[in-house]
Structure formats: structure tokens, C-alpha cells
């Protein structure tokens, strides 16, 4: 079972429009509402692949109730921690060329009691978890040390932790040695404090995160594929993508594929790449099902193209 922790979940409404024109009345060609938040998306992708998952998150107000109902409709167990503030609602506008404009609400401010209740719920429900995936930004009221405390408690209980966050929260948690961290190129650049212009730059940055405490780094480089850096070395995975429809949740789908495939080694990296490639071809934050995956389109190699320039240099 994969348990996910989403400290700042959301309801995500996505509108597809022919083009985004500022100040105009736009008519959507399609729209959808999905449960949102990085950990929530990991649970959705795990459930879509037919595996058991439990989603732990703070829930408040009508939006929180709708979010919980939507997740249960997808076969996901929900352990909601009641909070006084309302769960946030986000809006995304998707254009035909794959450009996505997002408006993310700040979300509720959690009290110290609510923050502790969230930690205690994770501990109480993690006994049979193969992995705990802690994902996303922290809401107001939770300091950057909150993820570090979660990782420490999980390790004391014997659980494995995958962490997908950024900024001070990521840096603070590294000293507790999370088993996997999953930055994208921009987050990796931010963590080491310098631009990443090539795949080789990204490899060096991932190795620095390992020196700071991360046991494994799974780095998403967008169109340039994914890197897996661990004790056995560096591996590089790519897949052909015919058309990008929406990149919302693609990194979350990748992490779900990686953990569901065991969370280590070339086979898990291949699963991560396949899930991410499938996700970008789906609307909104829809998660891929097994029929969407194309494992034969994935290439994993230890011959990493270190001099290859990143399509969108991270800075």
C-alpha cells in the first residue's frame, strides 16, 4: 500500500480554450474538475494502476467534502483531518499548444493542533504502508521544518519516505535522509543555487542533494527525460511524446509509477518515465491508466548524455 500525504490539497478546475486572451470573454471547449494536490495526484495514479492507496490530508468546508467524495469515487481510501479553514480551489486554463496558465489559491492556515493531528494521522495509518509519499507545498501555519519532522517520525516507525517538495522545506528535510526526493529541474536548480544548463549540470545537482542527505534522487527534466541517481550510479530515462495536452500532475504520475514499481532501479525509472509521458497526453490533471502507458517507447540507459543542453534551462 502507498500512503500519500498532501498538506495543502485542492479542487482543480481546468478549462480548455482556443487561446488565452487577457481581458476578453473566453468560451471553453472543454472543462473538468479533479481532486488536486501533488500527493492526491500520486494516490490517483496509484489507484488507476490498480494498487491500494490511502490519502491523508487536511479537509475543510464544502470543497473539502467534494474533494473527499471525488477521491472515494476513484477507489481511494481517504483519511481526512478536519480543519477550520476551507480547502482551496484552483483554476487552470489550457491552450491547444500545451501552454497552461494556473491560478492557485493559498489554502487554509493550519493551527499547531491541526498540524500535529496531521502528523499523528500519518503515524496511525502507516503501519502497512510500503511507501509514504509526502508531496507538495506547505499551507500557512506549517513551517519548513514540518516535512523534516514527518520524515523523522516515519523513519522511527520503520517506513520508507518519498518527498516531493521544494525550497526551504526540501532543504530542511534532507538532514533526515528521505529515501527518495523527486525535484523537477527548476526545483533542483533552486536547491543548489545555480542555473542548470545541461543534463550533466542536473546530475551534479542531484549528487549534491545526496551529499546533503537524500538517499535517492529522481529528477524530472521535462522534455529531456528523467534522472535516477542513487548508490548504484546514474541512470537516464526518456520516452517519445507525440503531443502535450497538459503537464499538470505529470511529475506526480511519474512518482506514482516509480513507487508502484518498487521505488528503486531501472525498472522503476522506466515505470516513472512511462507514467509521466502518458500523463502529459491527457486533459487537465487526469492520471493515466495501464492502457495509456507505452512501455516500449521508454529508453533507460546508464550512458547519460552529460553535454546535452536542457530544452528549458532551469535557473
Which residues are tagged catalytic?
252
Pairwise CA distance, residues 88 & 101, whole Å: 17
Pairwise CA distance, residues 199 & 201, whole Å: 5
Is residue 87 a contact partner of residue 9, using CB atoms and an 8 Å limit?
yes
Phi-psi region of 158 (alpha: psi -120 to 50; beta: other; left: phi over 0): left
Is residue 87 a contact partner of residue 60, using CB atoms and an 8 Å limit?
yes
Number of H helices, E strands in the chain: 9, 16
What is the signed CA dihedral for 197, 198, 200, 204, rounded to 10 degrees?
20
* Helix, strand, coil share (%) of the chain residues, nearest 5: 35, 25, 35
Is residue 6 a contact partner of residue 64, using CB atoms and an 8 Å limit?
no
Q: Which letter does DSSP use for residue 238 in this model?
A: E
Give me the DSSP letters along 91-108.
EEEE-TTS-EEEE----P
Amino acid at each position: 500500500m502507498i500512503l500519500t500525504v498532501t498538506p495543502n490539497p485542492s479542487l482543480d478546475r481546468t478549462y480548455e480554450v482556443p487561446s488565452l486572451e487577457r481581458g476578453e470573454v473566453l468560451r471553453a471547449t472543454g472543462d473538468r474538475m479533479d481532486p488536486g494536490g501533488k500527493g492526491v495526484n500520486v494516490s490517483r495514479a496509484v489507484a488507476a494502476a490498480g494498487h491500494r492507496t490511502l490519502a491523508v490530508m487536511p479537509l475543510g468546508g464544502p470543497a473539502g467534502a467534494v474533494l473527499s467524495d471525488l477521491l472515494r469515487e476513484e477507489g481511494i481510501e481517504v483519511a481526512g483531518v478536519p480543519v477550520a479553514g476551507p480547502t482551496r480551489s484552483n483554476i487552470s486554463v489550457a491552450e491547444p499548444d500545451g501552454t497552461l496558465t494556473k491560478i492557485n489559491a493559498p489554502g487554509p492556515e493550519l493551527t499547531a493542533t491541526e498540524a500535529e493531528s496531521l502528523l499523528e494521522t500519518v503515524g496511525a495509518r502507516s503501519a502497512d504502508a510500503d511507501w509514504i509519499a509526502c508531496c507538495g507545498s506547505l499551507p500557512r501555519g506549517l513551517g519548513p521544518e514540518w516535512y523534516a519532522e514527518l520524515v523523522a517520525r516515519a523513519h522511527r516507525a520503520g517506513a520508507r519516505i518519498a518527498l516531493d517538495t521544494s525550497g526551504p522545506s526540501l532543504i530542511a528535510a534532507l538532514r533526515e535522509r528521505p529515501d527518495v526526493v523527486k525535484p523537477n529541474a527548476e526545483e533542483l536548480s533552486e536547491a543548489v543555487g545555480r542555473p542548470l544548463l545541461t543534463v550533466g549540470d542536473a546530475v551534479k545537482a542531484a549528487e549534491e542533494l545526496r551529499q546533503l542527505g537524500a538517499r535517492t534522487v529522481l529528477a524530472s527534466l521535462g522534455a529531456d527525460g528523467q534522472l535516477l541517481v542513487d548508490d548504484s550510479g546514474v541512470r537516464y530515462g526518456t520516452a517519445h511524446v507525440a503531443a502535450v495536452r497538459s503537464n499538470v500532475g505529470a511529475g506526480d504520475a511519474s512518482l506514482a509509477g516509480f513507487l508502484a514499481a518498487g521505488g528503486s532501479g531501472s525498472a522503476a525509472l522506466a515505470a516513472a518515465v512511462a507514467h509521466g509521458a502518458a500523463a502529459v497526453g491527457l486533459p487537465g490533471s487526469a492520471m493515466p491508466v495501464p492502457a495509456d502507458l507505452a512501455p516500449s517507447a521508454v529508453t533507460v540507459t546508464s550512458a547519460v548524455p552529460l553535454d546535452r543542453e536542457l530544452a528549458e534551462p532551469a535557473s
